[in-house]
Amino acid sequence: MPGNKLRKATELLKRQFSVFRFPFSVWGKAISPTFLRIISRSLLFSGLCWLLLLGIAWGGAPAGKIPVVASIVPLADFCRQLGGERVEVQVLIPPGASPHVFEPPPSVVARAGKARLFVYIGGGMEPWAAKLLKSRGTENLEVVEAVQGIPLIKEAGESHHQEAAEEKHHHHKPDAGAEKAHDDHEGHNHEAGNPHVWLDPVLAQDICRRITAALILLDPGHSQDYEARRDRYLQELADLHQEMEKRVSSFRLREFVCFHPAFSYLARRYGLKEVGVIELSPGREPTPRHLQKIVRAIKKYGIKVVFAEPQLNPRVAEVIAREAGAKVLFIDPVGGRPPYGEDYLKLMRYNLSIMEEAMK
């Protein structure tokens, strides 16, 4: 791909400069050689700038910077905050895409192949990451898996296990096609537990410590700079935690219903309770029985809002909200869109303000 772009750019430059092989005139007057030299140099400079921009688009890090790839926007922001001007960070999963169903195109594989630091969530969040790392190899590469060393939540909503048992009891033995579909779905399950650890600001501090340690291994000569940036950002995360703790303590409602269990760690940290999760696992359509239980939970606890996510289709959430007399609001687990952009702290405060509107 880079070779094709380079050849096209070169041919265009040749066409630009070939015009000067022929005499020119404007309004019947010949153009002076000096004027032609000036124009030629200007076009040459613009062409070289274009080629430079093409090189940047190919994903190469500027000289002296550590090339870093992160699977999702919040992890990328951590890397930028901790690495500063010494890192060049690229996000593998684009904003608007769900990490659960994303499949990396060749361009993503190519970016990962050039990285010196690979940061991802793990715990089944990115089922393609293991294959990508295996094909890339770990030579000259540091890897940070966000969930490593963190005890993962196993449950999703208060009725998850009860419903799973009921479905197992009521369902007949599936045919071969259904079994294959089930097997394909299981490949995207979070077998190790819920991987959404970054949405707890306290657990985010642990992730940032490990990213910093990896940067120091790659660039020990600037360890003091990385440590200083780490300490500053950890304090910002601690301030965020204290702010969230204070604001959540004033919530009138402690129970909530969400589209999928992205905010389980946030709920556990601040004493909230998921009483309904619409999509228990990625891509799994909820059964009518499950939807009825969520509607009953909404009415039981006086919940006024169903939380949906901008990366996922809100249709089912809207149906449940209409049935229960509630409304739908959006909270975002991965960011990358206005008004918070790629800033983790702004993302968390935005989500908090939406929850505050629904639960205070």
Are 13 and 128 contained in the same domain?
A: no
Q: What pLDDT does residue 38 have?
A: 43
Q: What pLDDT does residue 12 have?
A: 37
> Can you give the residue range of the structural domain that contains 21?
2-57
Structure token pair of residue 280: 């228990």
Q: List residues bridging with 306 in a β-sheet.
A: 257, 328
Are 148 and 183 contained in the same domain?
A: no
Instruction: Report the C-alpha gap between 86 and 241 in whole angstroms.
Output: 28
Q: Which residue has the tokens 């092989």?
A: 21
Q: What pLDDT does residue 30 have?
A: 47
Are 148 and 292 contained in the same domain?
A: no
- Given its phi and psi angles, is residue 194 left (phi above 0), alpha (psi -120 to 50 degrees) or beta? beta
pTM exceeding the 0.85 threshold for the entire prediction:
no
Are 275 and 344 contained in the same domain?
A: yes
Are 173 and 309 contained in the same domain?
A: yes
Are 135 and 264 contained in the same domain?
A: no
Q: Which residue has the tokens 């940070």?
A: 144
Q: What does residue 96 show for φ and ψ, rounded to 5 degrees?
A: 95, -20
Q: What pLDDT does residue 356 have?
A: 97
Q: What pLDDT does residue 48 have?
A: 34
341 secondary structure, DSSP code: B
Instruction: Evaluate whether 124 touches 145 at the Cβ level (below 8 Å).
Output: no
Cβ neighbours of residue 70 closer than 8 Å, sequence gap 6 or more? 76, 78, 79, 89, 90, 91, 92, 119, 120
Q: What pLDDT does residue 280 have?
A: 83
Are 136 and 278 contained in the same domain?
A: no
CATH number of residue 74's parent domain: 3.40.50.1980
Are 52 and 128 contained in the same domain?
A: no
* Residues of the chain where predicted confidence (pLDDT) is lower than 70: 1-61, 63, 155-191
| Torsion on CA atoms 247, 77, 120, 192, rounded to nearest 10 | 0
pLDDT tens digits, one per residue of 257-295: 999 999 999 999 999 999 999 998 777 789 999 999 999
> Is 258 among the domain residues?
yes
Q: List residues bridging with 205 in a β-sheet.
A: none
Are 79 and 184 contained in the same domain?
A: no
Number of domain units in the chain = 3
Are 81 and 223 contained in the same domain?
A: yes
Q: What pLDDT does residue 135 have?
A: 84
Structure token pair of residue 157: 């909503």
pLDDT tens digits, one per residue of 288-341: 999 999 999 999 999 999 999 999 999 999 999 999 999 999 999 999 999 999
Of 61, 318, 275, 22, residue with least CA distance to 155: 275
Are 170 and 222 contained in the same domain?
A: no
